[in-house]
């Protein structure tokens, strides 16, 4: 997985005989499929409040890797914002956008009246200025972008803290007994 987030199911082989090795590979495949389903399901729930589905669609499994000592398979996403949803963090401006505003640079957060039903911004800050928008920097409070006839369309912040919302790691941990149970089930066949 290039950018984004990746986590692996890794099972040591130990002293497995030939049939047990095949069973372990099948069990890891089964556990990975379980984890993929569960991660995608949790992304649609109350934790992440799915908007576009891009993050959920990006969840994939890499090819199973067999080495002398282990069998592993990674589940991941190439979406840049996957890690901040899992681990949380602080978003800060990365360019000098709004550096001209006293106290800048800022990140722009769309207000409720500037969001679509899906939660995306209707107007970008550039579009807001093209419509005659202006920045109001009150003595107390946060600077805002106002568009005549639309009101406040963006709040300007120095940073935004995203809370930790773990889905990947707990789900992969929950899939370990699934792999173990499938392994022993396959050995009994």
User: What is the reported pTM?
Assistant: 0.72
Domain that holds residue 125: 90-160
185 token code pair: 């089930």
> Is residue 82 domain-shared with residue 64, that is, in the same domain?
yes
Q: How buried is residue 28: exposed, middle or buried, by Cβ count under 10 Å (0-12/13-18/19+)? A: buried
Question: In this structure, what CATH number is given to the domain that contains residue 18?
Answer: 3.30.300.100
Given this model, what pLDDT does residue 163 score? 92
| CA neighbor of 176 nearest in space, from 57, 55, 22, 72 | 72
114 and 94 co-located in one domain: yes
Are residues 77 and 168 located together in one domain of the fold?
Answer: yes
Whether residues 156 and 170 share a domain: the answer is no
pLDDT of residue 122: 93
Q: Are residues 71 and 110 in the same domain?
A: no
71 and 119 inside one domain: no
Q: Which two tokens stand for residue 140?
A: 């107390």
Q: Are 9 and 78 members of one domain?
A: yes
Could you tell me the two tokens for 148? 């005549």
Q: How many structural domains is the chain composed of? A: 2
State whether 77 and 36 are in the same domain.
Answer: yes
> What region, left, alpha or beta, does residue 103 occupy, with left being phi > 0 and alpha being psi -120 to 50 degrees?
left
Tell me the mean pLDDT per 10 residues along the chain, length 189.
58 66 81 86 76 84 79 85 90 78 84 87 92 90 93 93 89 85 80
| Same domain for 97 and 144 | yes
Q: Are residues 125 and 78 in the same domain?
A: no
Contact 32, 54 (CB under 8 A): no
Phi, psi (degrees; rounded to nearest 5) at 94: -110, -10
* pLDDT of amino acid 152: 96
Same domain, 46 and 57: yes
């Amino acid at each position: 997985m290039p950018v984004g987030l990746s986590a692996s199911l890794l099972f040591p082989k130990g002293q497995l005989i030939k049939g047990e090795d095949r069973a372990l590979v099948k069990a890891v495949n089964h556990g990975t499929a379980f984890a993929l389903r569960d991660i995608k399901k949790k992304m649609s729930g109350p934790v992440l409040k799915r908007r576009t589905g891009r993050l959920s669609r990006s969840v994939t499994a890499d090819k199973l890797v067999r080495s002398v000592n282990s069998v592993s398979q990674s589940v991941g996403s190439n979406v840049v914002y996957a890690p901040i949803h899992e681990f949380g963090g602080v978003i800060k401006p990365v360019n000098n956008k709004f550096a001209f505003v006293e106290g800048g640079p800022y990140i722009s957060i769309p207000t409720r009246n500037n969001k679509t039903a899906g939660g995306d911004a209707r107007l970008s800050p550039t579009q807001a200025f093209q419509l005659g928008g202006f920045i109001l920097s009150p003595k107390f409070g946060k600077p805002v972008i106002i568009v005549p006839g639309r009101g406040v369309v963006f709040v300007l912040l120095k940073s935004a803290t995203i809370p930790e919302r773990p889905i990947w790691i707990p789900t992969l941990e929950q899939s370990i007994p699934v792999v173990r149970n499938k392994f022993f089930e396959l050995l009994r066949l």
